[in-house]
Amino acid sequence: MLSNLKKKPTLNLLNFIGIKYRKGRFTKQENETLYKALQEYKKRHNLNDDQLRDLMFYRNEKDHASFWKEIAAPLRVRSLKAVAQHIQRHHHEFNYRGLWSQEEDEQLKRLVQIYGRDWTTIGNQLRRMPAICRERFDIFLLHRDEYNRGLWSKEEEEQLIKIVVDISKQNNENVTLDWGIPWALVAEAMEYKRSELSCRSKWVKELRLRYELDEDRGTRWTSYDSYMLCKRLKELNETDEYLIEWGNLADEEWGPW
């Protein structure tokens, strides 16, 4: 047992010892907590803004690791990696560049032909974040001509449900029907008939609920369901939807789902 705990933590191990990291978008409160942690760190170590950015972007390797441990500590429910990626994206000098133009899309495709998937080099030339360049190419450009547009057919919907459910079962705790779904793999399994964003949107907004209703109750959403949902949310008195444990709203009086 103790020897196993010395190994690099896995998701199963973290769940076993009671640690469960939150996923998804950072809330307003979390962003405020991180901003306060950054300002206190800067004041405590007598740093200016440039020196703080050096710590964020690996330009000060000596203090880089300990820096992130201190910044991430107040959140507790977010992994160190998630906190680092979130802050780096928010403070990156090439962030907030706006919508992509057709000329930028063409330049991105040309640079990929030259540099392959060296997103750092490509990002520097386009003055865009490397991760944004990768997402733009993989999600919007790579299979653009293959995507279907318009209404989904019944066959497409059934195919998407099967793919998502199969993936969630294969990955155990690493992927559920709510989070962790690798949409790039889903789009590939769909033979790129639909984009990653299109698959995700269709699942989140429509098919997930339909699948769970068909599996567990075989009935449609009713006015009583709407009433009970509003009642539960009012009882929680939670202002941020990302802090709501949606899976815990149902009970013997309402549900199960």
pLDDT, tens only, 68-99: 888 988 887 788 888 888 888 887 766 656 78
pLDDT at 208 over 70: yes
Domain covering 102-142, topology: Arc Repressor Mutant, subunit A (1.10.10)
List pLDDT tens digits, range 28-42: 888 899 999 999 999
Task: Enumerate residues 6+ apart whose C-beta is below 8 A from 83.
Answer: 34, 68, 71, 72, 75
> For the residues 126-137, what does the mean pLDDT come to?
86
Q: Is the pLDDT of residue 257 over 50?
A: no
Cα angle for residues 116, 183, 28 (degrees, 5° grid): 100
More confident residue, 92 or 182: 182
pLDDT band at 155 (very low <50, low <70, confident <90, very high): very high
pLDDT at 161 (0 to 100): 92
Q: Which pLDDT belongs to residue 115?
A: 94
**d(Cα 86, Cα 77) in Å, to the nearest integer?**
14
Q: Where are the domains of the chain?
A: 2-91, 102-142, 154-216, 221-257
CA separation for the pair 112, 103 (Å, rounded): 14
Q: Is the pTM of this model over 0.85?
A: no
Q: Supply the pLDDT for residue 24.
A: 73
At 8-23, the pLDDT tens digits run 444 444 444 445 667 7
Average pLDDT over residues 98-108: 89
Quickly count: other Cβ atoms within 10 Å of residue 78's Cβ.
Answer: 19
215-222 mean pLDDT: 59
* Amino acid 152: pLDDT: 92
- C-alpha span between 64 and 163 (Å, rounded): 40
Q: Provide the pLDDT for residue 154.
A: 92
